Each structure stands twice: as C-alpha cells, then as structure tokens.
Amino acid sequence: MNKSVDPFYSFSKEDHVSSLILPDDYIITDIAAIRVVECAVHAMGEGSALSAVLLDGPPGIGKTFLGKAVAKAIGARHMLFQFFPGCGKEELLRDKSIDGTLVPGIIPLSITSSIENKTVLILNELDKADVSVDSFLLDFINESQLFVPQLGGELKANNSNLLIVITKNDLRDATEALLRRCRVIYMNWPSVEMETKLIKMYNPWATEKFCEIFINAANQLRRHPGVKKKPSPPELVRLISDCWRIRHQQMTLLEWSQFLLTGLLPLPQDRKYLDQNPMALASEVRNLLSEINDLCRIRFNGIPE
C-alpha cells in the first residue's frame, strides 16, 4: 500500500540515508533538498561548467544553513555573499578597501580559494539582486571562469573544488536560463515531526504537545494566502524560548495572548488570519508551561533556565 504524503510537508528523515555526513547540529527538514544538493556535490568536476544548486522557498526554512552544512560535510570553506536591493554584478566582482582602492569581490575570491581548497560559495537571497545578475551568474557557471581586466585578466576556477549554492525567497522568478543551468529545488516547510526536533534542540524542556500547539498555529498561517509574514521555524524557536523566560512573570491572560500574537504575527494586518482564538491559545500555553515547570522541578530538583 502506498504511503500517503501531504505535498505541503517534507518527507520523514527515516525515508532517506544521506550519502553526506552532515553535521550533528543539522536537522534534515527537507529530504528532497538534501538529495538535490548531494547530486550537485557528486557532479563537481564533471565537464567544464560549475556545479550549482538553487534553493527556493519561504524565508527561514534553512536554505543558507543547508549550504553551510554541506560545506562542513565535504570539508570545504564556505563563503557567503548577501544580496541587497539593486545589487549588480559589480558588487560580486569588486569591492573597496578602507582606503578606497579596488579589491577582489566574492566571485574572484571564491575562484582563488577553489584552486587549492574545496569551496562552497553561498549567494544569499537572489530575489534582491538586479535581474542582470542572473545572466552574469549563468555565464560564470557555464564557463567556470571570468575575464576581469582590473583584476589581472582571466580568472579560472577549479570546478572540482567549487560548488555554487544560490538561495531565493520566492519573491521574484529567476531567469529561465539560470534555472536550466542549476539544480533547482523548492524547499517546503518542515513536517511537524522535524520542526518539533528543531524546537527541542534549542528548548529541550519543551514537550511534543507544547511544540505542536505552536507548529499547528504556524502551519495554519503558512497555508493562508493572505498572510504576508508567515512564521518561520527560527521564529517559533525564539518565541518558545521567550515563553520559558517569562513564565514566572505575573501576566494576565490578555497580556499572554498579545505576547503570543505578536510573536507569531509581527505584522498587525496578518493577525486577523489566525483561526484560533488568541485567548484560548494563551490559556493552553500558560497551563502547559505550568505543568512542564512542575515536572522539571520534580524530575531535576531544579528548573533549567
């Protein structure tokens, strides 16, 4: 009998044995993304082009973290460039030192690094860059080299040592040509099981029931097309940590509901989309916190802070 899979979620970790030894602190939240990145790693050095992967999806689901984890797994240096609104290819090619002289930018630096070292170049949030950057990256990936007269002429990468990881937050489409050249994956929100593991990594005191209260509320909001700022896994981790920190404060139920609503939905215009009554949510959270606090006192004769 075939297992039914909700396409909204990722697969479970048990469905996959990674061919990369990922760091201990990395929790696989999207099996398909891991498979795509593994293929890109194994393809390094094939032909004359660079191996490249484009990770798309909502903010906060671990695209950049995956790039860093893969760098650790293959013993590579990771080099990160954060795109900003209006960023063009010049910012990738050249930078300015304190005294104003031109120095190599992130692309030439990654090329130099690849000559002798395994290198993972993470280009973060392509959406923010000018669309002309897509064509520039396509040429670089296709040729594994650049010609920059100001930096000495031809710069050629060792394509056996250089992996390009481009992340995108689904804010604009990448050009079709760049999509064809990269291995592309749209990373989904994690399953309840995987997101619970992520939360408990930073909040070991949290019970599964406590985690699911927040995850279920977040998933309802993530599915809603009207929500502009959807709650990400890191934001849930932070909100749950903050709940523990303020558990002893004498807050009314209304204050708790306002605190939780702000943590889940920082944009006021999004708050109307929460199906659950904020007061009921606050009551459940506060009661469970009290129970967990008492259990910790009994079990450990003390409360983890």
CATH code for the domain of 21: 3.40.50.300
* 186 residue type, one letter: Y
Same domain, 37 and 181: yes
CA–CA–CA angle 21, 27, 28 (5° rounding):
75
pLDDT at 297: 77
Residue 137 lies in a domain: yes
Same domain, 29 and 168: yes
pLDDT at 171: 82
CB 182 within 8 A of CB 56: no
CA atoms within 13 Å, Cβ hemisphere of 49: 16
Splitting the chain (305 residues) into consecutive groups of 10 residues, what average pLDDT does each group show?
Answer: 37 53 83 92 93 94 94 95 92 75 86 96 96 94 82 84 94 92 93 93 95 97 95 95 94 97 96 95 96 81 53
pLDDT at 170: 78
Residue 305 lies in a domain: no
pLDDT at 14: 45
Q: Where are the beta strands (DSSP E) in the chain?
A: 51-56, 77-82, 94-96, 102-104, 119-124, 145-148, 153-156, 162-168, 183-186
Residue 7 lies in a domain: no
pLDDT at 11: 40
Structural domain boundaries enclosing 222: 192-300
Same domain, 30 and 171: yes
pLDDT at 2: 38
The total of structural domains in the chain comes to 2
pLDDT at 144: 92
Domain boundary pick from 142, 167, 186: 186
Would you state the structure tokens that stand for residue 301, as one six-digit string? 């004769």
Residue 63 lies in a domain: yes
Q: Report if pTM > 0.75.
A: yes
Residue 238 CA to residue 205 CA, distance in Å, equals 14
pLDDT at 8: 39
pLDDT at 172: 87
